[in-house]
Amino acid sequence: MNLNDHRRIFRADVLPHAGAINGSTGCIHKSGKNPDLNQKIVKFPFQCIQFGAMASIHSLVSHAADPHDEGGSHVVKVQLKLRELILAGGLEPGARITELAVAEKLGVSRTPIRAALMRLEQEGLLQAWPSGGYAVRTFSERDVADAIALRGTIEGLAAQSAAQQGVTPALLAQAHACLDDIDLVLATPTLDDQAFSRYVVLNRQFHQMLGELSGSAVLTRELERVASMPFASPSGFVLAQANTPQARDMLIVAQDQHRQVLDAIERREGARADAIMREHSRLAERNLREAVRRPEVVPGGRLIQQPH
C-alpha cells in the first residue's frame, strides 16, 4: 500500500458526503508559480485530497443557512477548495492569504471567500493578521496532543452521561451493529485498501454516535466542534500506522475499547465509561508521535512543527 493509496482511503471518509453538497470537490490541479499568492502550487498525483480529520462535512453543512441557499452552498465549496489547497501543500505555513488573491485564483467573488476564510480561522487552520488577511497556521506537537486530549475528555463526558441517563435498546442495538461491522473488517489477518477505508468510516460513525447515546444536544454539538479541530478527529492519525506491522493490532486494541465503553454504558457505570474514552484518545496521541516523525503519511502533517 503506497502513500497515494493511503490518501485515497482517508478521502473515502469524506467524499460521499462532500459529493452530496458539491457534486464535485473542484480540486485545484495547477502547477507553477502564482504571483498573487507568492507560492508554488503543486500538481496532485491523485484526484483530490480531502481531510476528514480536520472537519466533518456535517459541521460544514451546519454552517450553511439553508440547503437551498446557493450563497451558503457556494461558501462551503470555496471552503473545501481552500482547505484542500492548504493541506496538500499548495500554501506554505505562514504564507499570507488575502481575499483578493484567493478570489482571483479560484475565479469567484470576494463575498464567499471572506466567509470561507473566517470559517477556516474558526477551525484553527488559519490565523488572522492584525494588518489584514490571514496566514496558514502551524501547530506544535503539544497543540495537537491537547486537542486530542480535549476530544477524549468530551467523549468521556458523553459516555458517562449515556451511562447515567440510560440509553434506549434501539440506540444500543445500532451501536452494537456498528461495532459488529468493525469486527468483520478486522477479522482478516491483513488489512487491504478497502478494509482500511471501511474501518475509517465505521470508526467515525461510532464516535459520532456517542453524542446521540448521551441524549445531550450540548454534548453532541461539542463533539462535532472538537472533532473539527485540526488533527483531533477520531481517525486523524489512522494513516500514520497504516504501513507498520502493528497496524491491525492497534485497531484491535481500539475496537476492544469500543466494546468496553459500550459495556460500561449498558451496565450504567458512568465513571468507567468516562475513563475508557479518555484512555482511548491516548491511542491517537501515540499515533501523533509517528506522524511527527513521518509527516508525509498524514495529509497536512507538514503543518505540525518538528520538535527542536
| pLDDT digits 0-9 by tens, 165-191 | 999 999 999 999 999 999 999 998 888
The residue with greater pLDDT, 199 or 194, is: 199
146: number of Cβ within 10 Å: 15
Are the C-beta atoms of 201 and 195 separated by less than 8 Å? no
**Is residue 50's pLDDT more than 50?**
no
Query: Please, which residues have CB within 8 angstroms of residue 211's CB and are 6 or more apart in sequence?
Result: 158, 219, 220, 221, 223, 224
Q: Name all domains of the chain by residue range, CATH numbers in brackets.
A: 3-136 (1.10.10.10), 141-303 (1.20.120.530)
Question: Tell me: the pLDDT tens digits for 260-304?
Answer: 999 999 999 999 999 999 999 998 888 787 777 777 767 777 888
Question: Tell me: the pLDDT tens digits for 53-86?
Answer: 344 433 433 333 333 344 567 788 888 888 877 8
- Among 2-6, 76-80, 134-138, 283-287, the range scoring the smallest mean pLDDT is 2-6
**Is residue 21's pLDDT more than 90?**
no
Report the alpha-carbon distance of residue 131 to residue 118 in Å, rounded: 15
pLDDT computed for residue 17 by the predictor: 36
Report the alpha-carbon distance of residue 34 to residue 175 in Å, rounded: 49
**72 exposed, middle or buried (CB, 10 Å; 0-12, 13-18, 19+)?**
middle
Query: Please, which residues have CB within 8 angstroms of residue 208's CB and are 6 or more apart in sequence?
Result: 56, 58, 223, 224, 227
Cell triple for 231 = 488533527
The position carrying cell 469567484 is: 108
